[in-house]
């Protein structure tokens, strides 16, 4: 793709009024996407945004690009169709923790396992905001809402772990309250060939205010955020602590160890701190890292690109298969196909006879 015209953020801002609640984290995501797109070198007419239902799914209205606002949970299927019909498009799926992981979970998992060349932005605020505050698949256990008045008894779903377990070739996590980091992740997702799944933590200040406050509060953010950098050890809390692999029998487990300040090597105080390698074909370690802070208490939450490997995409394989079929059998002729086997004519007499 070549860019014939220099684009700016303003080129991607639609004329429609943005109708999210004041203070919603969606504003920061919208602004970051509009900031990143002009830097990709892709013509404006090559972008398409597809959404389902929910607060996040109003997104296509606010982007001055092509787009579809589809039905609940079905954005992956429509986006897949768009990409297959026109593989030159840069197709983005915008969904939420309810839309994409509840009614739409089945479609999401198949989109990921096929490695469709789509960019997936999953807004996670741990609540159903559009329908006024019911618990969602990512709500923490014990969450009191209008549909869980005694506290949710569900085990929450970890979006990034879900994506990696489904075979995602790219999986990342970022926070809407950190625009710089978010834009870096969006750029990395845009550059990836294949399904790029990005979980974006964002606040719903009306129905679930402070859901991710620990990642932002001055007193806790250093020990709660593990910023992933390729080729660097998993250190956090101002490099005073790190992540070590421990074996309990045959079961690997990630634990926190203190760092010896006088030793700056990867092997610190005799313990091998894990070095981040998102390009490792084996997704085992990426999956374990995705559990940090979410499923493993007393550990920080991994922020950044957890997995980024290159594998053939669905559209690449399909079009290659189509080219091979044409080379072997020639270009098909629809009329010839229709008349290639037995045919019959429906007449008034045959209809009256029930034939």
Match 């489904």 to its residue by tokens. Answer: 166
C-alpha closest to that of 193 among 310, 40, 319, 36:
310
Q: Which pair of structure tokens corresponds to residue 218?
A: 């001055």
Q: Tell me the per-residue pLDDT of 34-91, one tens digit each, with 9 for 90 and over.
A: 999 999 999 999 999 999 999 999 999 999 999 999 999 999 999 999 999 999 999 9
Q: Tell me the per-residue pLDDT of 223-252, one tens digit each, with 9 for 90 and over.
A: 999 999 999 999 999 999 999 998 877 788
Q: Is the pTM of this model over 0.85?
A: yes
Q: Residue 274 — very low, low, confident or very high, per pLDDT cuts 50/70/90?
A: very high
Domain boundaries, the chain: 9-211
Instruction: Provide CB contacts within 8 A for 196, sequence distance 6+.
Output: 118, 119, 120, 169, 170, 172, 188, 189, 190
Instruction: Give the span between the Cα atoms of 261 and 268, in whole angstroms.
Output: 9
Residue 220 has pLDDT above 50, yes or no: yes
Q: Residue 352 — very low, low, confident or very high, per pLDDT cuts 50/70/90?
A: confident
Match 């964002």 to its residue by tokens. Answer: 202
Degrees, nearest 5: CA angle 145-150-151:
60
Instruction: Provide CB contacts within 8 A for 83, sequence distance 6+.
Output: 89, 91, 116, 117, 118, 315
Q: In what order do the strands lie in the sheet with 301-308?
A: 66-69, 47-51, 90-96, 119-124, 196-201, 170-175, 301-308, 225-227
Q: Which pair of structure tokens corresponds to residue 205?
A: 């200040």
C-alpha closest to that of 58 among 134, 130, 127:
130
Mean pLDDT score of the chain, rounded to an integer? 93
CATH superfamily for 9-211 is Thiamin diphosphate (ThDP)-binding fold, Pyr/PP domains (3.40.50.970)
């Amino acid at each position: 793709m070549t860019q014939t015209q220099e684009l700016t953020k303003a080129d991607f801002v639609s004329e429609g009024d943005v109708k999210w609640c004041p203070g919603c984290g969606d504003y920061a995501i919208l602004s970051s996407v509009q900031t990143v797109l002009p830097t990709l070198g892709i013509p404006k007419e090559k972008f398409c945004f597809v959404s389902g239902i929910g607060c996040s799914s109003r997104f296509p209205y606010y982007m001055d690009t092509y787009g579809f606002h589809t039905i609940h949970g079905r954005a992956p299927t429509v986006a897949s169709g768009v990409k297959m019909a026109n593989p030159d498009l840069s197709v983005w799926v915008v969904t939420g923790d309810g839309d994409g992981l509840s009614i739409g979970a089945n479609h999401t998992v198949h989109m990921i396992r096929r490695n469709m060349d789509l960019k997936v932005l999953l807004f996670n605020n741990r609540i159903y905001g559009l329908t006024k505050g019911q618990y969602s698949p990512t709500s923490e256990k014990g969450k009191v809402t209008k549909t869980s008045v005694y506290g949710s008894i569900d085990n929450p779903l970890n979006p990034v772990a879900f994506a990696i377990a489904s075979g995602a070739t790219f999986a990342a996590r970022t926070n809407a309250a950190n625009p710089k980091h978010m834009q870096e992740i969006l750029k990395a997702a845009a550059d990836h060939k294949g399904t790029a799944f990005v979980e974006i933590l964002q606040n719903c200040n009306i129905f679930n205010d402070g859901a991710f406050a620990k990642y932002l509060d001055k007193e806790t953010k250093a020990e709660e955020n593990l910023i992933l950098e390729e080729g660097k050890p998993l250190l956090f809390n101002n490099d005073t602590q790190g992540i070590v692999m421990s074996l309990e029998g045959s079961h690997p487990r990630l634990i926190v160890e203190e760092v010896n300040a006088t030793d700056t090597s990867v092997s610190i105080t005799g313990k091998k701190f894990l070095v981040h390698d998102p390009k490792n074909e084996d997704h085992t370690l990426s999956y374990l890292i995705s559990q940090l802070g979410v499923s493993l208490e007393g550990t920080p939450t991994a922020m950044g690109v957890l997995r980024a490997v290159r594998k053939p995409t669905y559209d690449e394989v399909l079009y290659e298969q189509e080219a091979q079929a044409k080379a072997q059998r020639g270009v098909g002729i629809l009329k010839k196909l229709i008349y290639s086997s037995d045919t019959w004519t429906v007449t008034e007499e045959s209809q009256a006879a029930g034939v």
